[in-house]
Every structure is written in structure tokens, then in C-alpha cells.
A = this chain, B = another copy of it.
Amino acid sequence: MSIKQLPIKEFYSFGNSLIEKTRNLILQLWQENKFATELKEDKTPVTVVDLQAEQMLREIIQRNYPTHGIIGEEYENTNPDAEFQWTIDPIDGTQNLVNRIPTFGTLLGLRYQGKAILGFIDIPVLDILCHGALGMGVFCNNKKQILKDLQSAKLEHTDLIGSSTLDVFKRSGEEEKLFKVMNFHPHTRIYYDCYAHILAITGSLAAMVEFNLKIWDFTPTEFLLQEAGGKFVYLNKWSPDNPRDLAHAIFGKPTAVDLIVQELKY
């Protein structure tokens, strides 16, 4: 089937209903504020909120689209050879969740033959939802997003760059990259996970630099940001054919992305 023939509206509406359900679940667990936390092998935390939200999403997707694949943070891949692949990060920013910082959220994406066609980033506690589907525009809290480029050919003092923590760069021994970005633009901030992705999509950040991303971390952002007019550049050879590979990426306003790519000499 060609992409144009896909029932994108149906998937979009289905995705919206999924997000509504995870949001309700997450808000309930957030208010109860009684959840066990464990450290995973990579020393990042996981809670029952992560597990319950992903379980729920998986069950509903499998019931409605039993032939579709699912790649999620907390469980094994389902139907890894399917043409449709849903990507799920039930809680991006668990470290914030456990510290009662309300900027964590849910990331949901859909790829068809490797190409992203749908994306959702939802921040339940802050009541911010960005979503979009192929050819249908990008909306954050119902406002259509069109990302403007920088006003000049350089980063100004008022421009902000976002980045992941040093911990993430250390995983692949690339901490120098972060220090280089910070020295290049001392207004770099080390930000909040998927909330920062929304800030890149809406143009609040000039660009965002992230290393060691998993497919569920960046599928919605890559899709929404590009649909809104932004630029998303991989710094390594990443392909959806190897969905468990890690990606390094810079994304945001096109000129800002180019400047950082150049500075990091890729």
C-alpha cells in the first residue's frame, strides 16, 4: 500500500484516544503518589506508572490492530516484521516523575515501512499535548505550529539550546561533545526530556542536542518537528531497519541545527 492510501485519519483518531487514556491513568497515579521505584540495568528508574501505562497501550493496540508491531521502552517487541510499528515511551522523564517535577510525559509514534506518519507528545500534569499526522499539520494545544528559522545566521544571546544530561553522553564516552556545545553556546540548558522536545517544536528552543536516543524517544519528535518546518539531523548512521540501535541527533530551527552540526564537525 502506498502511504497516500493509508487510513491516516483513523490511526490519528485512534492515537488521540490512546493518549487520552494514558493521560487519565498517569494523572491518577501522580495524584496518588504511591508508587514503587526500581533502577533498571542502565541505572535509570522505572515505576509502576511506566509499566501500567505501557501495558495498557499495548493491550489496546493489540486488540485493535493485532497485525501491527509495537516497540516500547519497558517490554519486548511485538510483531517485529510488521509494516506498521507503534513506538511507545509511556513515561519519558521518569527521573522527573519520581522527583515530583511535572515535565515528564508520554511519547507515541507510528511508522509505516520505517517512515513516521503519526506523533504524539503529551505532558499530562502541565496539560500540554502536541500531535500531528502526515499531511495534516502539527498542533500544540490546538494551535497550529509553524517553526520559524533563526532571525540571523548566528545564535544570539537570547537563543537557547537544550541538551540531555552528561550521564547520557557518558554512556557512549562522548561527554566532550556536550562540553563543546556548552562552550559554543553558553546559554545551553540541560533540560527536561520530552518537555524540551515540545519547546523545540514550538520554537522556544533554537535547537536540541541529544545522544543515545532510543526509537521511542525520538519518533514523535522527529516527525512533528519536521512537519512543522524544522530540521532533524542524525549524527550517526541510524536506520529504522535496526530499531534497537541508539541515535544521536540535533533538531530544531534549520540554521541553529546547521551551526551546531558544523561546530561538532560532523
Residues of chain A touching chain B, judged by Cβ–Cβ distance below 8 Å, are 37, 39, 43-45, 95, 98-101, 126, 157-160, 165-167, 170, 179, 182-183, 186-192, 199, 202-205
A189 with B187: in contact, given A99-B205, A100-B204 (CB under 8 Å)? no
A204–B167 CB distance below 8 A: no
Residues on B with beta carbons closer than 8 Å to the beta carbon of A99: 158-160, 199, 204-205
Q: What residue of chain B has the Cβ atom nearest to residue A178's Cβ? A: B182
Q: How many copies does the complex hold?
A: 2
A44, A98, A101, A170: residue with the most chain B Cβ atoms closer than 10 Å? A101
Q: Which residues of B contact A101 (CB under 8 A)?
A: 160, 199, 204
Residue of chain B at shortest CB distance from A205: B99
Cβ-defined contact, A166 with B183, below 8 A: yes
Alpha-carbon distance between A126 and B158 when the two chains are bound, in angstroms: 22
Does A188 lie within 8 Å of B160, measured CB to CB?
Answer: no
Contact of B186 with A189 in the complex, beta carbons under 8 Å: no
- A100 near B202 with CB under 8 A, answer yes
Task: Considering the complex, give the chain B residue whose CB is closest to the CB of A101.
Answer: B204
Partner of A95, one of B160, B167, B199, B203: B160
User: Once bound together, how far apart are the Cα atoms of A99 and B37, in whole Å?
Assistant: 35
**Chain B residues within 8 Å of A189, by CB:** 165, 189-192
**Cα distance A99–B205 in the bound complex, in angstroms:** 7
Closest Cβ–Cβ distance, residue A128 to chain B (whole Å): 10
Complex Cα gap A166–B179 (Å): 10
Please tell me if the beta carbons of B166 and A44 are within 8 angstroms of each other in the complex. no
Q: Are A165 and B191 in contact (CB under 8 A)?
A: no
Q: Which residues of B contact A95 (CB under 8 A)?
A: 158, 160, 187
Bound-state Cα–Cα, A204 to B95, Å: 10
Please indicate the chain B residues that have their CB under 8 angstroms from the CB of A203 in the complex. Answer: 100
Contact A187 B165 (CB under 8 A): yes
Q: Which of A43, A187, A188, A203 has the most CB of B within 10 A?
A: A187
